[in-house]
Structure 1
Amino acid sequence: MFEPSNSAAFLVAANQRPLAVKPALYPTARPYDVIVRNKAVAINPVERAKQEMGDMMFPWLKYPIILGNDVAGEVVEVGSCVDRFKPGDRVVGHAMGMSKESNNPAEGAFQNFTVLFEHMTSPIPDSVTFEQAAVMPLAVSTAACGFYQDDQLKLELPTTDTTPGSRGEILIVWGGATSVGCNAIQLGVASGYTVFTTCSPRNSDLMYKLGASEVFDYNDPNIKHTLLKAINDRPIAGGLSLGRGGAETMMDVFPKCKGNKFIACGNYPEPHPAPKNMVMLRIICKFLSWQISMWWKGMTRGIGWKFIFADTLTNNGVGKAVYTDYLPKALADKSYVPAPEPIVFGHGLDVIQEAFDYQARGVSAKKVVVTL
């Protein structure tokens, strides 16, 4: 008989490090839940930010907290209303424990067993390893929120039989080599848009492999002119900003374009270079001044923009459309590939803190993963 014993890497107080690995309650499956024995989890900047910035980030979370969004593993239990999965199934899903609506340690990723919502979970084929699958969830959800929600770009949903470029509109993804960017390119193509993206030249081949039609160097001093020339008066579907300078560039380019002049912002502005003193004050000042500038430019130029919150797709139909209706078939027929490539940092809950520190030093076109 299965006798579960759970452990987790807890953030026990604001700014506390390292994470404390200790026993955790084994979760109970509600009617629409899936309980997964985690085999691989991925590290995202937002989890490290919660540890470093304390209650400035996710102030609704109560200590001790189990962080983490990205889970890949095997189903061990399902709720009474779940018929898509059974014990033993290999799955990937977005753990929602850090969201304001959930706020539930049982739904955090950094533990041996995690509760996932059935409609935010996808089966993975045998050809995809747990380490590969773990890079996807938060990146997929962020891109999906920016693309498909009614308060964002409101794009057409992805399907496995949509012809790339069939909608005749250009979708800009600034920061294609980020984990979100790698998934945004694929979702945009599967939704029928012509995707233009930016990255450093060393990652251009990967961007084309994922389906981008045009790839630009974001360090090009003439990037605005280059983008406008490539758009060539064709309609735009909007833009997704995932890196420094993206939203500002699109704010200058979009007034000269026709189509959906909206920017979904997937990253927050930060001082550059990073400050070495009065860090928090300078971060706040940068954020406020950036928002004022964007508000004024958007209002005077007729450009809409909004920050993305990657948990809002849970209950508005977008999550189900992606994780239930699209990803299972797309992963099975290999029209969607897990990206970026995982960097397997180590094994076990006790190395997650070290993985945080490794990720903080910066990775490009890769994502840090820990096996369990």
Structure 2
Amino acid sequence: MSDNMAAWIDSPYADLTIREAPMPKPGPRQLVIEVRAVAVNPLDAIIQSNGTVMYGWLRYPVILGEDVAGVVVDTGAGVDDFAIGDRVVAYAMGLEKGRDAVSESGFQSHAAVDASLAAILPATTAFEDAAVLPLAISTAAAGLFEKELLGLDYSRLGSAAPRDEVVVIWGGATAVGGNAIQLARAAGYRVITTASAKNHQRMRQLGAEAVFDYHEPQTPNRIIEAVGGSAVAGILAVAVGSAEPCLRIARATGATQIAMASPPVSFYEQPRLRGLSLARIRLFLKLGTRTALLQVRSRARGIRATFIWGSAIATSPVGPAVWAGYLPAALASGSHRLYPEAHITGHGLRAIQEAIDDLRRGVSARKLVITLEHEAK
């Protein structure tokens, strides 16, 4: 058996297949980690369900997976802040355009990751708990801090004096939302968010000063009242269908920026089949119509509504500021909580496909995690 095994997706829409993979070699400023835990993301399910519609640059077979935690086993040139044997959590970038969708992806025994998107784990932190973090915190950071999105000040992240400016986060109980609450608070901003009633206490523990139930029709008005006369620095729309209420809040509060982490429709509402089905045609017509209407309505009111691409932080100052400047100390002190809660659904690469299928059926305020105890040996 090879020293490296992976869960491959051999063609669009296919189930994952377990077999040998090349052992990754670290490029400059990269680490190779022996992966001990991975988490599944909506992105994995969406790529599997949509074929080449969104990620048209992928050349199959490829390996999915963004969230990894494990032990450093090799380092590339220019790495001086990590050493072999370090326990780390990292964002695997293989699926992004121009990256290696084999060696740099997460669903395998060993993965090559950028040192700039990795952080040392405290000795007391379990790999499976840490695996919930990478894509969620990176997407939250992009939405909050990238200039093309909300453009918030992150220069004193983790030590910022409190500000009177408010950040509204619609969808605080999501993986992105829960990390965005913490990052916004760490940068000094006040946070108002939404979540179902059962998650309100958890949102306050993460740092939100006010939480409202997104099921309630009056929630946009209640958020507007809670803002009062304070300036709204920006609005983060995370959950599917969140753009419309966020636009209403922006109009009423004078906010000019909305960063959107989710499309206006759910990509799970289609069969995982090749070709054009009626369900897929309807979904993309709905997507195009709603997106166009949103842009027209927002621009007419001087509001910029922009979709988040989490990997943007890899090539901007935001990545190092969050992953190197903030995260190691915040994890060590416990000031940044690992959110959402890890739910271990299985062990070994063969458990990943079932976890992705479970994700399609719906998961709330938790992350599906698989542990890897090295079947490659």
TM, length-normalised to structure 1: 0.95
Kept in 1, the 8 Å contact 2:46–2:267? The answer is no
Q: How far does the alpha carbon of each residue in 1:271-308 deviate from its partner, in whole angstroms, 9 at most, with x for none?
A: 69947872111111111111121111112111111001
- What corresponds to 2:86 in structure 1? 89
Q: What's the counterpart of residue 356 of structure 1?
A: 356
2:21 is equivalent to residue 34 of structure 1:
no
Which structure 2 residues correspond to residues 243-258 of structure 1 after superposition, within 5 A? 243-258=239-254
Query: How big is the shift at 1:4?
Result: 7.4
- Mapped partners of 2:291, 2:259: distance in 1: 14
Letter in 1 for 2:313: L
The DSSP-based 3-state class of the residue aligned with 2:159 is coil
Q: 2:200 matched to 1:186?
A: no
1:283 and 1:313 mapped to 2: Cα distance?
Answer: 30
**What's the CA shift for 1:34?**
0.4
Are the aligned partners of 1:170 and 1:195 in contact in 2 as well (CA < 8 Å)? yes
Structure 1 pair 272–324 and aligned structure 2 pair: CA distance change class (3 A): closer
2:157 is matched with which residue: 159, 162, 181?
159
Aligned to 2:263: 268
Instruction: Establish whether residue 62 from structure 1 lines up as the match of residue 56 from structure 2.
Output: no
Matches within 5 A, 1:261-300: 261-270=256-265, 274=269, 278-300=278-300
Question: What letter is aligned with 1:219?
Answer: H
Note the alpha carbon deviations across 1:138-159, whole angstroms, 9 max, x for none.
0011001111111011101162
Task: Name the aligned partner's letter for residue 257 of structure 2.
Answer: F
Q: Structure 2: which 5+ runs fail to align?
A: 272-276, 373-377
CA distance in 2, matches of 1:24, 1:178: 33
1:189-208 superposed matches below 5 A: 189-208=185-204
Instruction: Name the residue aligned to 1:331.
Output: 331
1:224 maps to which of 201, 204, 220? 220
Cα 1:271–1:108, aligned 2, differ >3 Å: closer, same or farther?
Answer: closer
Is 1:309 aligned to residue 309 of structure 2? Answer: yes
Q: Which residue of 2 aligns with 1:127?
A: 124
Alignment of 1:226-245 (within 5 A): 226-245=222-241
Q: Which amino acid aligns with 1:169?
A: E
* CA distance in structure 2 between the aligned counterparts of 1:216 and 1:360, rounded to whole angstroms: 26
Does structure 2 retain, via aligned residues, the 8 Å contact 1:60–1:103? no
Secondary structure of the corresponding residue to residue 316 of structure 2: coil
Once the two structures are TM-superposed, the CA of residue 312 in structure 1 deviates from its matched residue by 1.2
Q: Show CA shifts across 1:176-214 (max 9, x none).
A: 111111101100100110011101000111101111110
CA deviations 1:240-264 (Å, max 9, x no partner) are 1111332111211212213x42100
Letter in 1 for 2:106: A
Counterpart CA distance in 2 for 1:268 and 1:295 is 12
Q: Of 106, 110, 118, which aligns to 2:107?
A: 110
Say whether the 8 Å CA contact 1:275–1:282 is kept in structure 2: no
SS in 1 for 2:20: strand
- Cα offset for 1:333? 1.1
**Equivalent residue number for residue 375 of structure 2:** none
What's the C-alpha RMSD, in Å, of the aligned pairs? 1.6
Instruction: Give CA deviations for 1:309-366 in whole Å, capped at 9, x if unaligned.
Output: 1111101111111111110111111111111100100110011111111111111110
Question: Structure 1 counterpart of 2:231, which letter?
Answer: P
How far apart, in 1, do the equivalents of 2:345 and 2:50 lie?
24
- Whole-Å separation in 1 of the counterparts to 2:350 and 2:93: 22
CA displacement, residues 76-126 of structure 1 (integer Å, 9 cap, x when unaligned): 011121011111101001000000131431010000000010111010101
Give 3-state SS (helix, strand or coil) of 2:314's partner. Answer: coil
| Alpha-carbon distance between aligned partners in 2 of 1:39 and 1:178, rounded to the nearest angstrom | 24
Would you say the 8 A contact 2:2–2:20 is kept in 1? Answer: no
Equivalent pairs: percent with the same residue? 38
CA 1:98/1:43 → structure 2, altered by over 3 Å: closer, same or farther?
Answer: same
